[in-house]
Amino acid sequence: MTEELYTITEKERKRMNNKLLQLWRFIILNLRILRAVDHSKRA
């Protein structure tokens, strides 16, 4: 594989465990999945 691999920097590590930010990401992920499910059901 010649592509650059995903690197977990210190900033990324903090972001991945920041409770408030992750709560926001949790909400967005749920909305994203629900929107995609709705889209695919209408397809």
Partner 1 sequence: MAKIAIIGAGFAGHTAALYLGDKLGADHDITVINRSSRFGYVPSWVWVGVGHMDPEKTMFELEPVYDKFGIKLVVGSAEEIHPDPEDQYVMVNPKDGHTQVRVDYDYLIIATGARLNFEGTPGLGPETGNTWSICTRGHAVQASHHYLEAVDRLKAGEKQTFVVGTGHPGATCQGAAFEYVSNIHKDLVKKGLRDKAEIIYLSNEPQPGDFGVRGVQIFRHGKVFTAAQFIGGILKEFGIVDQTGRGVKEVQPGKAFWEDMDGNEGETAFDFAMLVPQFLGTKFKYIGKNGEDLSDKLMNAGGFVLVDAIYGLEYEVLEQTPEAWPAVYQNRYYRNIFAGGIAFAPPGPISRPHVTPTGFKISPAPPRTGMISGVTGRVIALNVADLVIRGRMTHHERMTEMVAACIASMGDSLWDGSAASIVMYPVVPDMRRYPNEGGRDMITTHMEMGLSGAWMKRMLHTTFIHKLQGRIGWQFIPE
Minimum gap (Å) between residue 41 Cβ and partner 1: 8
Q: How many residues bind partner 1 (CB under 8 A)?
A: 27
Residue 22 to residue 6: CA distance in whole angstroms: 19
Minimum gap (Å) between residue 20 Cβ and partner 1: 11
Q: What are phi and psi of 13, to 5 degrees?
A: -60, -45
Residue found by looking up tokens 């903090």 in the block: 14
Per-residue binding letters, 1-40, with partner 1 (x by CB under 8 A): x-xxxxxx------xxx-x--xx-xx--xx-xxxxxx-xx
